[in-house]
Structure 1
Amino acid sequence: MDNKLEKIVSLCKRRGFVFPGSEIYGGLANSWDYGPLGVELKNNIQQLWWRHFVQSRDDMVGIDAAVIMSPKVWEASEHLKSFTDPLIECKKCHQRFREDQIGDACPNCDSRDLSEPKQFNLLFPVHLGPTEDSGVTSYLRGEIAQAMFVNFKNVLDSTRVKIPFGIASQGKAFRNEITPGNFIFRTREFNLMEFEYFVKESEWEKWFDYWRKEMRGWLDSLGVNQSHVHEVEIPAGERAHYSKRTIDFEYDYPFGQKELYGLAYRTTFDLDNHI
């Protein structure tokens, strides 16, 4: 953590925005708790997002889904097979790093004796039931989008929405990944705010451009300096398994240019797998 970020972390703790998680027990790596001012700021952003993208529109509805879903959901969505990060292990100190976080040498001990990249699934398994023998293994959700696809027909049957329309949600997601240790950026437990917008296949490019501009407008409403925001087109070999096109909106953080949020055209991949 560089000096500038250390000052930000210290200020956030003193003012009651963010505290290290489980601090009185020595803390837990990359775990953070929102304090009295932090929770108000976080809630204000979430409420503003909900008003902006859901309540102010007549083509968007919301849901609030369970954190733990049937394991069949993650099998059908191919997350059990494809929701992975390539990891490299240092054979000297046995530290593991994401492939995009390491060069020719280990950042921890400078050894160049590194393993080949291996795929590591990011879903957190959880055991449901009184005993391991009689229970079922499921997973904490790695994204909140799947509930929107699983409930697609329920939403159609219970509302008057017609294509084009969207389903929005907010909530916790969990990813068992190697975190970079950059304060509250990319932790294992985090809040997501997102929506899935359903359109005719022949019109996806028009709507992709529309939502690209709307997402820029959302940043304006927050007062974000747009000169620090960059749109990065993700090449085919690096996109998620469900995406035909993805743009990442990246921000100039103190630790470098990193993802703020993304816009992806998921085609009919998810609905085809679930319905």
Structure 2
Amino acid sequence: MSTVITSQKLAKFPGIKAVVSTRSFGNQSFQHSSISEKETILNRRRFFDKQGINADFVVNTGLSHEDKVYCARISDRGRGAMAKKTIIPNYDGLVTNNRNVFLMVTVADCFPIFYYDPKANCIGIAHAGWRGVLNGISINVIDEMKKVAGSKPEDIIVFIGPGIQACHFEVSIDLASQFENAFGSEVIVSRGGNRYANLSMAIKSQLESSGINSCNIEISSECTYCADGILSSYRRDKGGYIAQAAVIGMI
């Protein structure tokens, strides 16, 4: 595998940069309690430089595992990119219709969701864990794109990046019931007396219900738990996990 994960659909657009880092770039999150900010800054610098991304153009949020979406403006460039104190707190989604504004979230089992509307020239990104999925973070990004740029769902292309897949995302009986009530029984897999949730299927269902064409949705086949040595997994690695960066920008 290459040192980053990309989308085949988004790669068709030369003006779009959309990447997910791998373990080779080290921890990318300022919210990791046992890795220093200095080390994370060095890791980010190496990742940004390798991808040809100007760190001064990056906007990064402090995640809350909820459903809030922030509209990033030119004046926000650099916030949270190379200093924890400048991070935009408590947002799990970002949207912009400005070029040279790179939207960034960090993930380590939760799914990064990339959005691009080539007609309205608008992009978005979401950090989607089980709470965010149940609260509709994927839908809220679309709604913000509508407000910011007049995007139409049928024009939006979406890439659901790597996250923990149903093969390893074991959930409680209560949480399984919540997912079944929200998305139907097909998102829960029963195996060996345990229940596993298919978050990527749930996200796809939300996107389609919002008007995104199924042919415009790409889902990564990578499971963070399975891809040991390539991707970090919070559930697998526990205290030894590191976070991947997910970044999208219009050049």
TM-score between both structures, scaled by the size of structure 2: 0.29
Of structures 1 and 2, the one with the larger relative CO (CA 8 A, separation 6+) is 2
TM-score by length of structure 1 reads 0.27
Name which one, 1 or 2, has greater alpha-carbon Rg: 1
